[in-house]
């Protein structure tokens, strides 16, 4: 079994380096405070391009560089993955669109038709990252009032219906959240590949849903032992249902020719943090929702921001990434060889797939595809490395 490697699509613009956020692609710029609207792609004037033109560049860079495709996240301030995927269907050739979405926001019968159409539009290149929401104010912002465990029950019902409709014939279902009566896909939409399901969520409720429906259980990077336990638990629970599940890790990497250069990126970014960012770090714990996964990540963080090295929790693992950009905290930092070794460590503890990312996503897709991926052995520990370069 070989390892699938995905890239990630930045749906929130992005700075051209982790060192500082001043130069920003897309129309999100932090030059004059958070979220100032600028026309055009490079800011300042309307150049006739949109953020989608940059996203298209990243998607093509990912497919050219050997990635399966990319995860397209979905947050209140980001451009939407269903839209991005349908717009870029014709503009890419092998790129697989991993759509992050919360099932609760879509009618499952409509979602089945959307997905089948997207499969037809892309030649079967759609797959899901099923997310179920982190609760708190953000959940209400989306218009979702369901409590944590109900949301996962709803996710399960949604996927029950999606699979039921996909099979063909007429499908009826009587759930707590959804009902359908004699639902069916149009004939010409039948027979498409069911989208592979990557599933995110660390709580018990999440595991219950994942073990029933997921092809891949997807986790952020966590301390390696903790991750091994989690993957083991997921695999046990799934096996108990007579199914098999694979595991995947979503992790940012900072890889350079030498380890020293890689840490220099981190140090520069850390030193350039402004007062607002430091303030946000302090407040972060207070704004937590009900996400178990997020608190598992937070649990590892130091209370004070003194030295970037305080955030090194494992050889080549830095847990301060959310300081330098939004999102999850732990990333792999090191030379090309070291990063590949850590990825192989993760394979040994149960990972079958990766979703990697690095800023800026365009140039880094080439770097990681050219320098790091050729060094990853995967399950084949006897593989001898080809000379790179």
Partner 1 sequence: MSAQFFWLLPTAGDGRYADAQQRIRGERTTDDAYFLPGVTDPRDRNFNYFDYLHQVARAVELAHFDGIEIRNDPEGEESWIVAGYVSRASRNLTVLTEFDASRGSAVYAAKNAVSFQRFTGGRFAWKVTVQPNAAARRRQGDFVEEEGLYPRIDEFVTVARNVITTTGYDFNGRFFQVLQGGFQGPLSGQKVPPVYFSGSDEAALKLSARLADVHVFNALPLEDVRLLAGRLEQYAAQAGRQVDFGLRIDVLARESEEEAVFDARRYAEQSGQGTQLQHAGLWAGLTTSTTGADATLVGSYEQVIAQLAAYATAGVNHFSLGAVPSLEEAYRVGENVLPGLRHLINSANQRAA
In the list ligand FMN, partner 1, none, the entry touching 51 (Cβ below 5 to 8 angstroms by class) is: partner 1
**Binding residues with partner 1: total (CB under 8 A):** 60
Q: Is 109 in the site for partner 1 (CB under 8 A)?
A: yes
Segment near ligand FMN (CB under 6 A); pick from 40-48, 215-223, 252-260, 313-321 = 215-223
Q: Is 75 in the site for ligand FMN (CB under 6 A)?
A: yes
Query: What is the C-alpha to C-alpha distance for residues 372 and 332, in angstroms, rounded to an integer?
Result: 12
Query: What is the C-alpha to C-alpha distance for residues 230 and 247, in angstroms, rounded to an integer?
Result: 10
Residue 67: count other Cβ atoms within 10 Å of its Cβ.
Answer: 25
Indicate which single residue of 18, 180, 206, 245 sits in contact with ligand FMN (rule: CB under 6 A).
206
Q: Is 298 exposed, middle or buried (0-12, 13-18, 19+ CB in 10 A)?
A: middle
In the list partner 1, ligand FMN, none, the entry touching 297 (Cβ below 5 to 8 angstroms by class) is: none
Q: Is 85 in the site for ligand FMN (CB under 6 A)?
A: no
In 3D space, the residue among 68, 84, 13, 120 whose CA is nearest the CA of residue 354 turns out to be 68
Indicate which single residue of 51, 68, 74, 335 sits in contact with ligand FMN (rule: CB under 6 A).
74
Beta strands 179-183 and 171-174 are: antiparallel
Q: Is 105 in the site for partner 1 (CB under 8 A)?
A: yes
* Residues 226, 249 contacting (CB under 8 angstroms): no
**Sites for ligand FMN among residues 288-327 (CB under 6 A):** 291-293
In 3D space, the residue among 33, 93, 51 whose CA is nearest the CA of residue 361 turns out to be 51
In the list partner 1, ligand FMN, none, the entry touching 250 (Cβ below 5 to 8 angstroms by class) is: ligand FMN
> What three-state secondary structure class fits 71?
strand
**Sites for partner 1 among residues 168-187 (CB under 8 A):** 178-184, 186-187
Token match 């004037």: residue?
Answer: 45
- Please state, in angstroms and as integers, the Cα–Cα distance from residue 227 to each residue in 99, 153, 208, following that order: 24, 24, 17
Which is nearer to partner 1, 179 or 258 (by Cβ)?
Answer: 179
* Residues 152, 203 contacting (CB under 8 angstroms): yes
Q: Is 380 in the site for partner 1 (CB under 8 A)?
A: no
Q: Is 329 in the site for ligand FMN (CB under 6 A)?
A: no
Query: What is the C-alpha to C-alpha distance for residues 122 and 126, in angstroms, rounded to an integer?
Result: 7
CB of 122 to partner 1, least distance (A): 9
For 259, residues 6+ apart whose C-beta sits below 8 A from its C-beta are: 316, 333, 334, 335, 338
**Sites for partner 1 among residues 22-81 (CB under 8 A):** 26-28, 34-38, 50-52, 76-77, 79-80
**Sites for ligand FMN among residues 165-204 (CB under 6 A):** 200-203
Q: What is the CA radius of gyration of the chain?
A: 21
> What three-state secondary structure class fits 16?
coil
Segment near partner 1 (CB under 8 A); pick from 98-106, 196-204, 235-243, 252-260 = 98-106
Q: What does the DSSP 8-state code read for residue 33?
A: B
In the list ligand FMN, partner 1, none, the entry touching 9 (Cβ below 5 to 8 angstroms by class) is: none
Query: Residues interacting with ligand FMN, by CB under 6 A?
Result: 73-75, 100, 131-134, 200-203, 206, 218-220, 250, 291-293
Query: Residues interacting with partner 1, by CB under 8 A?
Result: 13, 26-28, 34-38, 50-52, 76-77, 79-80, 82-91, 104-111, 113-114, 116-118, 120-121, 137, 140-145, 161, 178-184, 186-189
């Amino acid at each position: 079994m070989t390892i699938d490697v995905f890239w990630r699509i930045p749906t929130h613009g992005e700075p051209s380096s982790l060192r500082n956020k001043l130069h920003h692609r897309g129309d999100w710029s932090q030059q004059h405070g958070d979220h100032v609207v600028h026309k055009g792609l490079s800011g300042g004037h309307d150049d006739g391009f949109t953020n989608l033109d940059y996203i298209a560049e990243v998607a093509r860079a990912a497919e050219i560089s050997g990635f399966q495709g990319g995860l397209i996240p979905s947050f209140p301030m980001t451009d939407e993955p269903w839209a991005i995927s349908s717009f870029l269907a014709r503009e890419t050739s092998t790129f697989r669109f991993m759509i992050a979405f919360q099932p609760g926001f879509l009618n499952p019968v409509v979602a089945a038709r959307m997905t089948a159409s997207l499969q037809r539009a892309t030649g079967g290149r759609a797959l899901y990252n099923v997310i179920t929401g982190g609760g708190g104010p953000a959940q209400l912002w989306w218009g979702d009032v369901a409590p944590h465990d109900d949301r996962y029950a709803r996710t399960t019902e949604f996927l029950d219906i999606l699979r039921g409709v996909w099979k063909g014939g007429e499908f009826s279902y009587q759930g707590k959240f959804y009902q359908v009566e004699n639902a069916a896909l149009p004939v010409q939409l039948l027979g498409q590949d069911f989208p592979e399901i990557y599933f995110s969520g660390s709580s018990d409720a999440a595991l219950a849903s994942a073990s029933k429906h997921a092809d891949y259980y997807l986790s952020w990077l966590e301390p390696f032992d903790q991750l091994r336990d989690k993957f083991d638990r997921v695999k046990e629970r799934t096996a108990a249902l007579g199914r098999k599940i694979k595991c995947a890790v979503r992790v940012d990497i900072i890889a350079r020719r030498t380890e020293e250069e890689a840490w220099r990126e981190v140090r520069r970014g850390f030193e350039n943090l402004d007062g607002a960012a430091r303030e946000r770090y302090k407040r972060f714990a207070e704004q937590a929702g009900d996400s178990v996964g997020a608190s598992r990540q937070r649990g590892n963080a130091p209370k004070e921001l003194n030295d970037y090295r305080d955030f090194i929790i494992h050889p080549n693992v830095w847990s301060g990434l959310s300081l330098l950009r939004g999102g999850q905290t732990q990333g792999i930092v090191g030379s090309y060889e070291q990063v590949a070794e850590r990825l192989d460590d993760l394979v040994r503890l149960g990972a079958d797939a990766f979703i990697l990312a690095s800023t800026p996503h365009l140039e880094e897709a080439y770097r990681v595809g050219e320098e790091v991926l050729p060094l990853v052995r995967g399950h084949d520990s006897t593989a001898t490395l080809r000379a790179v370069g």
